[in-house]
Amino acid sequence: MPGSLFIVSAPSGAGKTTLVRGLLARDPRVRLSVSYTTRAPREGETDGVAYHFTTVSDFMARRDENEFLEWAEVHGNYYASSRLWLEMQLAAGQDVLLEIDWQGAEQVRRFFPDAVSIFILPPSFATLEQRLRGRGTDSEAIIQKRVAAAHHEMRQVDQFAYVIINNDLQVALEELCAIVCAARLRTALVRQRNPEVFLPAV
């Protein structure tokens, strides 16, 4: 039976990665899709775990070979999701989570209209900027670029089925887990997985 596909998007600094890690730690039935990126690894990031780190030339070659489900340029770097891996996982009944930007989410929904899309918002724009500066990993120029991009990214929220305001991390995590649980109880999926429970149509 097919697995469920979850899409989680957010502007930089909204806490998306922390929430996704929390969900994965609590729910072993969800597997994270590891994206390809041309950006340099941050401290503590491992190739094949955080991302598949690659060069621009290799990225473009893979794109031209139709290996990617979606791809986008974000803050001067390229990101993409593996189409072949994702299709194989879903066909095997595995639930998969894509942690991607809104542009990628838009592309994915064209191929998987039943994907469950979730957008993470910060409690305020001031909080978002404070979180970006608190990371201590980016230059002032990069921070300014991310802040400017966040204005546009946050305006895409209406494209998503669910929205979580990450004011309290624990509350936001509970809400994310609840969305995943509810998505698994959609009638069509439950019927596919438990046909013996349903009476035949009259």
DSSP 51-113: BEE--HHHHHHHHHTT-EEEEEEETTEEEEEEHHHHHHHHHTT-EEEEE--HHHHHHHHHH-T
Give per-residue pLDDT as tens, 62-98.
999 989 988 888 878 999 988 888 988 999 999 999 9
In a domain? residue 174 = yes
pLDDT of 136 higher than 70: no
The confidence band for 118, taking pLDDT boundaries of 50, 70 and 90, is: very high
Structural domain includes residue 170: yes
Asked, for residue 119, whether it belongs to a domain, the answer is: yes
Q: What is the mean pLDDT of the chain?
A: 89
pLDDT of residue 94: 94
DSSP state of 138: S
CATH code for the domain in which residue 173 is found: 3.40.50.300
Rounded CA gap, 170 and 41, in Å?
Answer: 28
Average pLDDT over residues 190-197: 91
Residue 150 resides in a domain: yes
**Residue 158 pLDDT class (50, 70, 90 cuts):** very high
- From the list 160, 167, 156, the residue with the least C-alpha distance to 124 is 167
Distance from C-alpha of 110 to C-alpha of 159, rounded to nearest angstrom: 12
74 part of a folded domain: no
* Tens-place pLDDT, residues 5-30: 999 999 888 889 999 999 999 999 99
Number of structural domains (the chain) is 1
Asked if the structure places residue 112 within a domain, the reply is yes
Lowest mean pLDDT, pick from 47-51, 119-123, 167-171 = 47-51
Q: What is the pLDDT of residue 9?
A: 95
The answer to whether residue 64 is domain-embedded is no
- Cβ distance 23 to 97 under 8 Å? yes
Q: Is the full-model pTM beyond 0.85?
A: no
61 part of a folded domain? no
Would you state the pLDDT for residue 13? Answer: 81
CA atoms of 86 and 7, how far apart (whole Å): 12
Range of the domain at 105: 5-33+94-197
Residue 32: is its pLDDT beyond 80? yes
What pLDDT is stored for residue 70 in this prediction? 84
